[in-house]
C-alpha cells in the first residue's frame, strides 16, 4: 500500500467531520489538558481518531488472554511475557476489572491503544478518581495521550513532533496521517 492509499483510507471526510465535532464538544477539557501537557488539542483528537475511530473501535479481545497466547507464540514471546506481567499489574492496581480489560488481538488497550507497559508509564488519572481509565473516562484518555507525547519530547517543532509520533507507532504513514488529520481538525 502506498502512503497516498493509506492516507485516503485513514483520513476520510467522515473522520475529519467527526473529529471536528468531537473537538468542539470536548473543547474545554481539551484546552485544559493541552495547557497542562503542552500538546495542542487537535493532535490529541487526531491520535484518538486514528487509533480507535474516536473510541468506536477499541477491540473486543481479552487483553490477558491475548497476551498469554502471544507470550508463548515464540516470535516475540519475551516482549509479550513482559506485557502480560504489566497487564496483571494494572489489574492488581484496580484500574479496571479483568472482564472489562479488552483491547486488540495483540494487547493494545482502551481508546488510546496503549500496550500495558505504556499504560504503566504514561496513563494518567486526570479526573482524580484513583483509577487510570483509558477505556471510558475522557479526561484520562486525553491526558494519557498528551502525557505520552510530552514525555517523549513533544514541543513546538513540527519536525521533532513527527519523530515523537514515530515513537508512538514506527510507521511514517501513521505519523503523517496524525499530522494531516490534526491539521484538518484544527482548521
Catalytic residue numbers read 51
Q: How far is CA 102 from the centre of its chain?
A: 14
Torsions phi, psi of 131, nearest 5?
Answer: -125, 145
C-alpha to C-alpha distance for 177 and 174, rounded to whole angstroms: 5
Locus of grid cell 519523530: 163
Contact 112, 52 (CB under 8 A): yes
H or E stretch covering 44: helix 41-52
**156 DSSP 8-state letter:** S
Q: Which of 58, 68, 67 is nearest to 134 (CA)?
A: 58
Amino acid at each position: 500500500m502506498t502512503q497516498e492509499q493509506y492516507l485516503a483510507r485513514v483520513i476520510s471526510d467522515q473522520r475529519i467531520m467527526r473529529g471536528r465535532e468531537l473537538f468542539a464538544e470536548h473543547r474545554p477539557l481539551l484546552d485544559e489538558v493541552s495547557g497542562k501537557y503542552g500538546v495542542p488539542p487537535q493532535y490529541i483528537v487526531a491520535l484518538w481518531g486514528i487509533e480507535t475511530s474516536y473510541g468506536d473501535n477499541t477491540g473486543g479481545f481479552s487483553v490477558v488472554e491475548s497476551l498469554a497466547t502471544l507470550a508463548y507464540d515464540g516470535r516475540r514471546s519475551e516482549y509479550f511475557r513482559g506485557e502480560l506481567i504489566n497487564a496483571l499489574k494494572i489489574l492488581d492496581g484496580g484500574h479496571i476489572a479483568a472482564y472489562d480489560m479488552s483491547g486488540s488481538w495483540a494487547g493494545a488497550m482502551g481508546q488510546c491503544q496503549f500496550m500495558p507497559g505504556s499504560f504503566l508509564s504514561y496513563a494518567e488519572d486526570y479526573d482524580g478518581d484513583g483509577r487510570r481509565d483509558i477505556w471510558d473516562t475522557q479526561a484520562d484518555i486525553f491526558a494519557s495521550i498528551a502525557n505520552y507525547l510530552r514525555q517523549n519530547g513533544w514541543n513546538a517543532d513540527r519536525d521533532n513532533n513527527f519523530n515523537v509520533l514515530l515513537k508512538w507507532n514506527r510507521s511514517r504513514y501513521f505519523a503523517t496521517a496524525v499530522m494531516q488529520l490534526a491539521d484538518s481538525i484544527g482548521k
